Amino acid sequence: MKIRFWGVRGSIAVPGPRTVRYGGNTTCIEIRTDNNELIIIDAGTGIFPLSQTLLGELPLTANVLITHSHWDHIQGLPFFIPNFIPGNVLRLHGAFDPVSGTGVEQAMAVQLQYSYFPVREAELKARMEYITLMPEQGIQIGTATVTPYLLNHPVINFGYRIESAGKSVFFTGDHEPPYNIYATSDDEFADYQQFVDEKAEAIAHAMQGVDVLIADSSYTAQEYPAKLGWGHGTFDSSINYARQANARVLFCTHHEPTRSDDALEAALAQALAANPLQPGDPEVRLAREGDTYEF
């Protein structure tokens, strides 16, 4: 299996000299099975440079897994070049949104409104297919089994476990470890804590035994209290998840957009100093745009 990162920043694209080493595009991950089957996770701005590399593989069926519908995970969809070429298929997978009452097709339909984009969906030359996924119900994409799991973010967010030929990867999307919203003195504390514990156990089970964990590591432990409830994890929480899962390698991603490359490396070094790696612990890396990892 091969993983390539095309976008690793969170919230908004931040091109420029301060982000040139790790990249400024928003979330997009290319995964290839050993049979070279293509799976794309999320369609942030990083999907545009990815799409340019796919032109030698046409006609193409692109299976795109959307973790959630926030802009930084879908804003590249209208610029996915194969959409404009006959014979291609864009197969978009994602969750049902109980707020809008729509499936993943809404991620494309909203962006292609004529007020916001000059080409309407009816004018695209590729065939568009929309697949609404259900939590913990796996689907088959070629030789790969893809299973979505509900994680914790202010909108419905799927983490995806992808397994093929005995190899596995888990991507959290945007995720904040669940916590108790009540004070210990509140009557609701005990019942809600039971929910938190069950949710945490389910997430740990979903990640268990993966070769590669790619996790939302937006904040440092010091920054996190001011961001509580925003739906993002920390370097420390990601290291903890990787240890619990017995993962081989952890990629920290969704880099905070105001953090320069130098500050990013310093933040990881600080987290590793606070969580010294022991024998048997996973290797910990910063996700870097353009990097590949093959296993």
- In tens, the pLDDT along 242-257 reads 999 999 999 999 999 9
Q: Residues, the chain, total?
A: 295
Using alpha carbons, list the distances in angstroms from residue 259 to 61, 221, 264. Answer: 36, 15, 6
Range of the domain at 122: 2-294
CA atoms within 13 Å, Cβ hemisphere of 254: 25
Residue 79 phi/psi, 5° resolution? Answer: -105, 15
The pLDDT value given to residue 97: 87
What is the phi-psi region of residue 166: left when phi exceeds 0, alpha when psi lies from -120 to 50, beta otherwise? Answer: left
Q: Is the peptide bond before 135 cis (omega within 30 degrees of 0)?
A: no
- What is the distance between the alpha carbons of residues 199 and 207, in angstroms, rounded to a whole number? 13
Three-state SS at 288: coil
Is the Cα torsion angle 82, 84, 87, 93 positive or negative in sign?
positive
Rounded to a whole number of angstroms, the CA Rg of the chain reads: 19
The pLDDT value given to residue 178: 97
Cα 283 to its chain centre, rounded Å, is 19
The pLDDT value given to residue 235: 98
Residue 6 phi/psi, 5° resolution? Answer: -110, -15
Is the Cα torsion angle 69, 75, 78, 82 positive or negative in sign?
negative
The pLDDT value given to residue 198: 96
Residue among 95, 36, 79, 44 at smallest CA distance from 60: 36
How many distinct structural domains can be found in the chain?
1
Q: Do the bridges between strand 61-65 and strand 89-95 make them parallel or antiparallel, or are there none, so unpaired?
A: parallel
**Residue 166 in tokens:** 């005995």
- What is the distance between the alpha carbons of residues 268 and 220, in angstroms, rounded to a whole number? 8
pTM for this model (two decimals): 0.97
- What is the distance between the alpha carbons of residues 234 and 227, in angstroms, rounded to a whole number? 10
CATH code of residue 211: 3.60.15.10
Residues of the chain short of pLDDT 70, as ranges, are: none
- What is the distance between the alpha carbons of residues 22 and 287, in angstroms, rounded to a whole number? 7
DSSP-assigned beta bridge partners for residue 128: 90
Place of tokens 């729509």: 102
